[in-house]
Amino acid sequence: MPIRVVLAEDSYLVREAVRLLFEAEPQLELAAVCGDYDSLMAAVEAHAPDVVLTDIRMPPTGTDEGIRAAQQLRESSPATGVVVLSQYADPGYAITLFEGGSAGRAYLLKERVGDIEQLLAAVREVASGGSVIDPKVVEALVSARSSAGSSRLDKLTPRENEVLAEMAQGKNNAAIAKALFLTERAVEKHTNSLFAKLGLTEERDTNRRVRAVLLFLGQQ
């Protein structure tokens, strides 16, 4: 059976180009074509598609309608896959799209629209519960994480780095003190210092420890 698709794109030229490509593909059934968030959500309710192919920015606000639609569909229509098209390799949008789970989600750049095989592969993948992320978006994510993490970790002293390395092994302050031949008071001092340098100002130490370790592991 063909994959039922709802297309949402506010640009007439892009919308018509994708519509023509999809209508020529026997593997796909184009159930509806929309130009804004409200009509997209109504089309999903009316046609129960296997996949939604949507631009990120559409009316009414022209900001993140595609991402919000993907989030809403995770609750209202969890079996519907979503392929999001973006003009830019924006790490923030990608993180938001995948933060609730990667199953049935894809993030592609609009430049892929001209490559029908790549677009079809993404539609098929999310229809079967898989996920796809554009290689350029992966590069942007890695670059953003590396830049943010390294700039802050570079501020740590050698001893603070040692404390953080022990923390990454799941050790509490007492165990860190034993491993580094320090007093627990000294470990606490180094820990508070590295939290401050990493910009981790939450009051609950547990949350700060987890976030500090994530930054550390991101550089390994």
Q: Over the Cα atoms of the chain, what is R_g? A: 23
pLDDT at residue 150, as a whole number: 56
pLDDT level of residue 202 (50, 70, 90 thresholds)? low
**DSSP letter assigned to residue 48:** -
Token pair of 109 as six digits: 């750049």
Cα→Cα distances 188→30, 149, 172, 192, Å: 61, 22, 10, 6
Query: Average of pLDDT values for 90-98?
Result: 80
Q: For residue range 148-195, what is the model confidence (pLDDT) as tens digits?
A: 555 678 788 889 988 988 887 778 899 999 989 999 999 999 999 988
Is the model's pTM score more than 0.85? no
pLDDT at residue 67, as a whole number: 92
pLDDT at residue 5, as a whole number: 97
pLDDT level of residue 89 (50, 70, 90 thresholds)? confident
pLDDT level of residue 205 (50, 70, 90 thresholds)? very low
Query: Average of pLDDT values for 71-92?
Result: 89
Token pair of 204 as six digits: 């609950």
Token pair of 200 as six digits: 């981790």
Distance of CA 171 to the CA centre of its chain: 30
Token pair of 47 as six digits: 């046609």
CB 37 within 8 A of CB 59: yes
Q: For residue range 37-54, what is the model confidence (pLDDT) as tens digits?
A: 999 999 999 999 999 999
Domains of the chain: 3-141 (3.40.50.2300), 155-218 (1.10.10.10)
Nearest to 7 by CA among 61, 94, 66, 71: 66
